[in-house]
Structure 1
Amino acid sequence: MKCIKIFLVLLLSVALASCSKYLDVVPDNVATIENAFSSRNTAEKFLFTCYAYLPAHGSPTGVPFTAGDEFWLPFPQNSQYYFNDPFEMIARDNQSAFDPSLNYWDGSRGGKPMFRAIRDCNIFLENIDAVPGMQSAEKKRWIAEVKFLKAYYHFWLVKLYGPVPLIKENLPISAGVDEVKAKREPVDSCFAYIESLLDEAVPDLPLTITDEANELGRISRVTCLSVKASIMVAAASPLFNGNTDYTGFKDKEGTTLFNTAYDQSKWEKAAESCKEAVLAAEEAGLQLYRYTPVVSGNTLSETTITQMSIRNSIAEKWNAEIIWANPNSLAENIQRLAQARIDPLRIISQGPRSLLAPPLKMAELFYTKNGVPIEEDRTWDYDGRYALRTATEAEKYNLQPGYQTVALHFDRENRFYADLAFDGSVWYGQGRYDDNSPFVVQARRGQSASRTVGTLYSVTGYWPKKLVHYQNIILEGSGQAYSVVPYPWPVMRLADLYLLYAEALNESGRPYEEVCTWLNLVRERAGLLSVQESWKQFSTNPSKYTTQNGLRDIIQQERLIEMAFEGQRFWDLRRWKKAREVLNNNQIQGWDIEQSEAALYYRVKTLYTKKFSNRDYFWPIASRNLLIDNELVQNPGW
């Protein structure tokens, strides 16, 4: 009974079986809170325990990475080689309230137990003052870090479930049954509490991490302010701000859980938060990443350098653009999943999983070389985009000269070629650091990148090259013969912050010149003209950027392009309340990959037709929790 009561008090609606130890820090292996805070060393272990609950941001099975429309996988899946529960259950519209995939409420099916995480954060905050011999400044810093984590865990739950219980402090064991029953708090209250925790944390955090050998990945002031900015933008976005779809959503006492009235001041507040974060990032010396060739005497084209700047802003660990990276989530397996078999002498290797396949819609998302959408560029043949065309020597940095592919792959922006690999494309890396002799992808039936190893293949004919470090090498032999350069997953980088700032400024009604300043910084790194120049010169709607609605469309597409394959699209489509429109109106399509002839290979093949309803904006709470706690109400539609 004592274990069950602790479980209820701490809102752990997971395994009722036992009370887990906090840390094994005493000789007899029976830990107590007193042991955990008896010295600086044991307290530091508990601090790292609080960090350990961070979502595995770079894991395709631990976050909604493959749960949307950004990637597709072969179906049915072959569990002998690889099985992806979020893809099976969420992307393919099988999510269930009985046993939800990525259940972060309980901590099951790939989800971590967020309420247990919050409990441990509370235990830390309640006991850290008892640790003897610690310097005051260090203690304040640790407290600030844990307040950040506590805020972030609450926010992660809000992203998934909407209104959630706020666990401001742990209840005592003596609490009565009625006290421990959790009620969901209104969404605005959730955001206000999260914001207050972050504001409390900011003053006691270091601007940057100076002890890089031991502390990279820990929370800095720039991290805290930037994450706060992203949370304030989420709070101001249509999903949470004036969402009338949740009119009448109340708890059992009649408390309204969604404020359905739009509040313009939320955007103004978000803009101020973004500004504060940008200023802190500038003070800390952060800057958009620029690639410098590592091979002495090697001369690369400006095209390759630009594309490597885009790729390495993700894959070069701890580069100058990274605001926050998660060292507990190394991008290792995901690189295997993203790597195409580009070496024709090593096609039997199972080291590259070659499974993460962006659909055709992602290839069509990127701009033309003129920096405008493909359907909007008056110099680009949109209707003829599926016609065959042969690459020439002039395209050698992007495409294999003399090779036949579709017009869709010609005259596109650098991010298209940096982020995506496809039949006929160039792949810089694999031990060849020479512009004139790169590997190329050949993906038609019988070629090196085609379906040659069981169920390990791209089902669409595209690969997310952006995620793969250029120094990875497919080795000789079969099995796991693939040398990976791992990097901690970048949860947030400077380009992300700039785009959030532009969005908040636009929604606050600021002049387009001010808004475009932040868009243009990101575009310039990608080798594009400014928004103003691109639209004036090439768009069929040259004045689009001068209106708030037009600029909103530009900002959203810019963000979907820049942040492609980083796990942001899933959340952005939801907070913009565009998921229903985008997912229902765009089928999952790819090329006819079983064909060897170009004319047959480049036929569009529909793989799946998605279904998305309003209920899918939020996760279901596992139905067993509603039986355990009769104060809880389920999300609408579940």
Structure 2
Amino acid sequence: MTSRLRLLLACAAALPIALAGCKPDKLLDVVSPTTVSDDIFWSQENDAVIFLNGTYSALPSWITVIELDGLTDDGTTNRQFDDRYVYSDGSFDPQKPYSRNHWNNFYNGVARANALIANIDRIPAGRIDPARKARYVAEAKFLRGVFYLQLVSMFGDVPMPLTPLTDAEARKMTNTPAAKIYDQVLADLDAAAAVLPTTYTGADVGRATKGAALAFKARAALYAGRYQIAADAAKAVMDLGIYRLNADYGQLFLYAGENSPEIIFAHKYSKTAQAAGQNNNIFGEFGPPSNSASAHMVPIRNLVDSYQMTDGKSIKDSPLYNPAPDKMYLNRDPRLAATILFPGASWDGRTFDSRPKPLSTQPEAIDLQNENTSVTGYYIRKWIDLTDKTDRGNGGIDVSLMRYADVLLMYAEAKLEAGQPDASALAALNQVRARVSMPPVAALTRDAVRYERRAELAFEGLRLFDIRRWKIAEQVMPTPVVTGIDYIDASGQLRTATVPASARAFPQRDYLWPIPQAELDLNQNLKQNPGF
């Protein structure tokens, strides 16, 4: 996406029209056609472009994508007073702002998409190109489908307006059953795929494509348990013949990988758009303190131990595994080193040493008195590009929301769950493993698929949805204490870093987040999710 498009997006996000009727405690940020001034908007094609660009701004952001894994068995927030912390220990409630912020953001996007679809016909004939007009509507439907997929995945049965609403209409909305929401998501993505181009040039690069619509259709169908639809949609992406795996896995999450043919759809950022708010703070938020960053969310031992050895076996079964603190990371699935910083890793021209103080004198050393050092001794490496180390708050790295490796894994899983674990499905999964020189698996199994998704997609915002849809969250989440690195203490004893007061729980109710209490207070027709 060019700087011009980013600037338009930023301008649209700031326009009063795009925020008309917006109040934090409303069910929806309503954009009503009656609030749009005819002499400002819906009079020429550029109005539609600006409004559409503002709709893109509601896509999952860099912090949303990365921090969601801190609510799972892959990571933890580094501060127990952090509002996100309670989403991993099972103590959150409908009053908490974290889940409510997600609700507000995605409904903002829904409202904008609905407004464009409802208003674009007001632009006089001759003042908008018909083909581009159809594409703008298709982009809006694609975005609406993505927003509703996020909402239904997080909250289950939610209101589903498809047209702009007045305040009074919004307060009469009821919960739409999740199955119907998935129906609409699939319909929106089908409609988008039928119109959107496969590629763009110039200022339009970065917009939704046919491949993106089909890939999100596969994700939506997989989440809904409609496996044949998911397999067919993923295969349609594969058959386009325009995507392929990047040769270097680690490069995908750095500036060097932004234009990779593996990236199907991304939330675009730019350093040059800092003043317009289109930059990000990935390095400052998640990088190590040795680069003056804050490490607000960090990996945990559970994830580290899940990575296989290079022989394709687990650390429990492989003769290659050496549990010594200075040997345990050797001969591991290469995605471990590309995803996580651990003691002994090469980082910024030196050897990383996050053992507790005073064993380590490096800034990344575990120090429970310093909230910016990892409580586990592990740090995120994925997404952290050293190019940003001298300007940490002004990052421009794009965050992928859909890439080809995920499509291949969705295809394999959907075929398996549909009772069709054929050679094509096995080949799709093994293609992902081959990229990092991991040995092929001989048979397509749930364990193989689920391992691959975890190793391949860590810190890409998908683990929470995976463990919930697989109904394994209550098995993998609870733990009496969160642990981190192993190290030898000053007396020569083997120790494991533990996080104080870090017991985790996952009650059955947590398979859905609660409808925000503020919405229930405004609308008596809404029903709360069970257990809240």
**Common fold: TM-score over 0.5:** yes
Matched, 1:51 2:64: no
Aligned 8 A contact 1:337 1:354 in 2: yes
Deviation at 1:130, TM superposition (A): 2.0
Could you list the per-position Cα deviations for residues 115-155 of structure 1 after superposition, in whole angstroms to 9, with x for gaps in the alignment? 34322222211111221311111101101000111122211
Q: Name the residue aligned to 1:36.
A: 41
CA distance 1:492–1:92, shift in 2 (3 Å):
same
CA distance 1:18–1:358, shift in 2 (3 Å):
closer
Deviation at 1:601, TM superposition (A): 6.6
Q: Name the residue aligned to 1:223.
A: 212
Aligned 8 A contact 1:12 1:115 in 2: no
Matched, 1:85 2:87: no
Q: Name the residue aligned to 1:200.
A: 191
Q: Name the residue aligned to 2:17.
A: none
Matched, 1:412 2:332: yes
Deviation at 1:512, TM superposition (A): 4.5
Aligned 8 A contact 2:286 2:294 in 1: yes
Query: In the aligned structure 2, how far is the partner of 1:169 from the partner of 1:229?
Result: 25
Letter in structure 1 aligned against 2:25: A
Query: In the aligned structure 1, how far is the partner of 2:25 from the partner of 2:496?
Result: 50
Superposition map of 1:468-479 within 5 A? 468-473=384-389
SS of residue in 1 equivalent to 2:154: helix
Q: Name the residue aligned to 1:361.
A: 302
Query: In the aligned structure 2, how far is the partner of 1:33 from the partner of 1:63?
Result: 41
Aligned 8 A contact 2:94 2:516 in 1: yes
Q: Name the residue aligned to 1:262.
A: none
Q: Name the residue aligned to 1:139.
A: 133
Q: Name the residue aligned to 2:8.
A: none
Aligned residue among 245, 254, 257 for 1:288: 245
Matched, 1:313 2:317: no
CA distance 1:172–1:635, shift in 2 (3 Å):
closer
Could you list the per-position Cα deviations for residues 200-224 of structure 1 after superposition, in whole angstroms to 9, with x for gaps in the alignment? 111221111222xx22321111111
Matched, 1:370 2:280: no
Query: In the aligned structure 2, how far is the partner of 1:19 from the partner of 1:359?
Result: 37
SS of residue in 2 equivalent to 1:323: strand
Matched, 1:184 2:178: no
Letter in structure 1 aligned against 2:282: I
Q: Name the residue aligned to 1:462.
A: 378
Query: In the aligned structure 2, how far is the partner of 1:531 from the partner of 1:495?
Result: 16
Letter in structure 2 aligned against 1:441: F
Letter in structure 2 aligned against 1:137: A
Deviation at 1:164, TM superposition (A): 1.6
Q: Name the residue aligned to 2:506.
A: 612
Could you list the per-position Cα deviations for residues 50-91 of structure 1 after superposition, in whole angstroms to 9, with x for gaps in the alignment? 2222221x20599634322322243445xxxxxx4323x312
SS of residue in 2 equivalent to 1:635: coil
Deviation at 1:358, TM superposition (A): 0.8
Could you list the per-position Cα deviations for residues 516-574 of structure 1 after superposition, in whole angstroms to 9, with x for gaps in the alignment? 10111111111112112xxxxxxxxxxxx36xxxx111110111000012221111111
Q: Unpaired segments of 5 or more residues in structure 2?
A: 1-19, 271-277
Q: Name the residue aligned to 1:157.
A: 151
Aligned 8 A contact 1:85 1:101 in 2: yes
Could you list the per-position Cα deviations for residues 314-364 of structure 1 after superposition, in whole angstroms to 9, with x for gaps in the alignment? 2222222101110159784222343335xxxxx5x62x2244321111110
Deviation at 1:275, TM superposition (A): 0.9
Superposition map of 1:327-366 within 5 A? 327=268, 332-340=280-288, 347=290, 350=292, 352-366=293-307
Superposition map of 1:111-130 within 5 A? 112=105, 114-130=106-122
Letter in structure 2 aligned against 1:334: I
Letter in structure 2 aligned against 1:439: R
Deviation at 1:506, TM superposition (A): 0.8
Aligned 8 A contact 2:31 2:164 in 1: no
Aligned 8 A contact 2:343 2:353 in 1: yes
Q: Name the residue aligned to 2:70.
A: 66
Q: Name the residue aligned to 1:603.
A: 496
Query: In the aligned structure 1, how far is the partner of 2:249 from the partner of 2:36?
Result: 47
Aligned 8 A contact 2:67 2:459 in 1: no
Query: In the aligned structure 1, how far is the partner of 2:221 from the partner of 2:27?
Result: 38
Query: In the aligned structure 2, how far is the partner of 1:367 from the partner of 1:323?
Result: 27
Letter in structure 2 aligned against 1:525: R
Aligned 8 A contact 1:105 1:621 in 2: no
Aligned 8 A contact 2:78 2:295 in 1: no
Q: Name the residue aligned to 1:170.
A: 164
Letter in structure 2 aligned against 1:232: A
Could you list the per-position Cα deviations for residues 15-37 of structure 1 after superposition, in whole angstroms to 9, with x for gaps in the alignment? 369998889xxxxxx95256320
Larger Rg: 1
Cα RMSD over matched residues?
3.1
Aligned 8 A contact 2:151 2:158 in 1: yes
Letter in structure 1 aligned against 2:84: P
Aligned 8 A contact 2:479 2:505 in 1: no
Greater share of helix: 2
Q: Name the residue aligned to 2:398.
A: 488
Deviation at 1:454, TM superposition (A): 3.6
Deviation at 1:42, TM superposition (A): 2.1
Letter in structure 1 aligned against 2:527: V
Matched, 1:447 2:367: no
How many residues align structurally? 495
Deviation at 1:603, TM superposition (A): 2.6
Aligned 8 A contact 2:258 2:397 in 1: yes
Matched, 1:325 2:240: no
Query: In the aligned structure 1, how far is the partner of 2:303 from the partner of 2:244?
Result: 27
Query: In the aligned structure 2, how far is the partner of 1:271 from the partner of 1:510?
Result: 10
Normalised to the residue count of structure 2, the TM-score between the two structures is: 0.84
Matched, 1:270 2:262: no
Identity over aligned pairs, percent: 25
Query: In the aligned structure 2, how far is the partner of 1:416 from the partner of 1:590?
Result: 14
